[in-house]
Structure 1
């Protein structure tokens, strides 16, 4: 059985306050895009995990796919286990939620493969144990996200028909580095209201709190954003804690051999 964990972008990202538990309360709009990894699982008598494609740093025991299996293990019939193969395409540490998607999709895939019968709401709770962005990928639809990134409200936002370009310059920005660059503050305007405005108005009203301080440290982020606007983007922004920058276009842009040294995704929304 195979599935294709997809990335997401943040449309706006406000860091509202630091919590007593050390996390931060945020608000953002999460929107799924079609930049995907490939994840396959088959039934076996022993557990095995391997990956190809982009090299994944660190111990495989800390991989969210392995953790997802361990969370579901008690629901899997005795004497069976999955062999899992991940082909990694989505850049890591890029603000795209690729690792979170892999973990969440693994929960869904194993639940279906082994007929575990775990309901959607319980899968979301398990996904929250994996990480803050993970529950989003269970339903995998546009939402307004708040709290520490695990609470959602449905929103009416449909960007289909537009064209997306994502550019990842390969700058790995850790969560600690990103949060260390900002001072939390409550936003002056309501993000759920701002996204109802025409896309052409987003440029002057919807921002990512991480973008300005990180662009000062890594000017390439701003250069890419300006380059996307020069190509005709209606809206462009850094996503998540960086360093990927995306542009939303009305029609397919001619990239004119730009960004060739970077990882680039382009396609319809």
Structure 2
């Protein structure tokens, strides 16, 4: 048995995001297209035989026991009944509150990686069901493929999307997802569309219903969206704060990225249809 693994926890983009209703439990019904990109956190997981779960470094503003990495490890430990524990370390590259799914991806990599390290042999379907207890975005990272999602984002159908080069900008602020979904001005009644129509791409289907509220509440995000829109159609991912635009070539994307404000964090990343995590473990 390998005693240690270092694995990627990739970012995602919402290529489009429609809010088609509000449920009785207060959550919103969504339609979205998830796509992975080759921008990652990295987790190192080491097995230990005392059953303890330890994250080696604190994440700013998050208590150890509340961290999704720790919660995922303990959830898998309880579910499987294993006597093993783990020492966990994360090399963070993805911004918190950025809409790139960093926390959910970290949780999914923890579940999938420890399933491998502890030799539990649980299926991805079972791991995804566990992951849903941690957050609506965790299952797509567990399954590891671009997906059309409905419900609260957990009803997944694998799809194949184009794989352009993206310029991604984080304007240096964090967005409160609950605050956006509670805003009375948020669009909650978009007409549902079919997956086939969504996959045709382009306006008006490829939009983000959170964008108007986010731009109103967070002027730095509006500034980044408007700047990027001068070069290509720009969109918010999730509830932000990151914004993105697609380009056909890496060279063009890099040229645009070099023009961005030095006050922003800017990346160039390739769109992917399979998760680097799954590639690393040979799932797909």
TM-score calculated relative to the size of structure 2? 0.85
Deviation (angstroms), 1:189: 4.5
In structure 1, what is the equivalent of residue 180 of structure 2? 178
- Output the CA distance in 2 between the equivalents of 1:259 and 1:215: 18
In structure 1, what is the equivalent of residue 6 of structure 2? 2
In structure 1, what is the equivalent of residue 218 of structure 2? 218
Q: Structure 1: which 5+ residue stretches go unaligned?
A: none
Deviation (angstroms), 1:191: 5.5
Superimposed CA distance per residue, residues 107-157 of structure 1 (whole angstroms, 9 cap, x where no aligned partner): 000000010111111001001111110000012211111101111112232
Note if 1:129 corresponds to 2:129: no
Deviation (angstroms), 1:207: 1.1
Note if 1:165 corresponds to 2:167: yes
| RMSD value, Cα | 1.8
Superimposed CA distance per residue, residues 48-69 of structure 1 (whole angstroms, 9 cap, x where no aligned partner): 21237xx432211111111111
- Output the CA distance in 1 between the equivalents of 2:24 and 2:268: 40
In structure 1, what is the equivalent of residue 263 of structure 2? 261
In structure 1, what is the equivalent of residue 242 of structure 2? 244
- Output the CA distance in 1 between the equivalents of 2:106 and 2:123: 19
- Output the CA distance in 2 between the equivalents of 1:100 and 1:224: 25
- Output the CA distance in 2 between the equivalents of 1:86 and 1:256: 28
SS of residue in 1 equivalent to 2:56: strand
In 1, are the aligned partners of 2:145 and 2:159 still within 8 Å (CA)?
no
| Poorly superposed stretches of 4+, deviation over 6 Å | none
In structure 1, what is the equivalent of residue 53 of structure 2? 47
Q: Structure 2: which 5+ residue stretches go unaligned?
A: 272-284
Q: 1:206 to 1:142 in 2, by over 3 A?
A: same
SS of residue in 2 equivalent to 1:221: helix
SS of residue in 2 equivalent to 1:195: helix
Aligned counterpart in structure 1 of residue 69 of structure 2, from 55, 62, 65: 65
Superimposed CA distance per residue, residues 72-120 of structure 1 (whole angstroms, 9 cap, x where no aligned partner): 1143642x31111111110011111110000011000000001011111
Where do 1:28-107 residues align within 5 Å? 28-44=32-48, 45=50, 46-51=52-57, 55-74=59-78, 75=80, 77-78=82-83, 80-107=84-111
Q: How many residues align?
A: 258
Q: 1:114 to 1:188 in 2, by over 3 A?
A: closer
- Output the CA distance in 2 between the equivalents of 1:26 and 1:138: 19
Superimposed CA distance per residue, residues 11-46 of structure 1 (whole angstroms, 9 cap, x where no aligned partner): 111111111112111111111111110101112233
- Output the CA distance in 1 between the equivalents of 2:204 and 2:53: 50
- Output the CA distance in 2 between the equivalents of 1:112 and 1:189: 38
TM-score calculated relative to the size of structure 1? 0.89
- Output the CA distance in 2 between the equivalents of 1:242 and 1:61: 25
- Output the CA distance in 2 between the equivalents of 1:165 and 1:83: 34
Deviation (angstroms), 1:195: 2.6
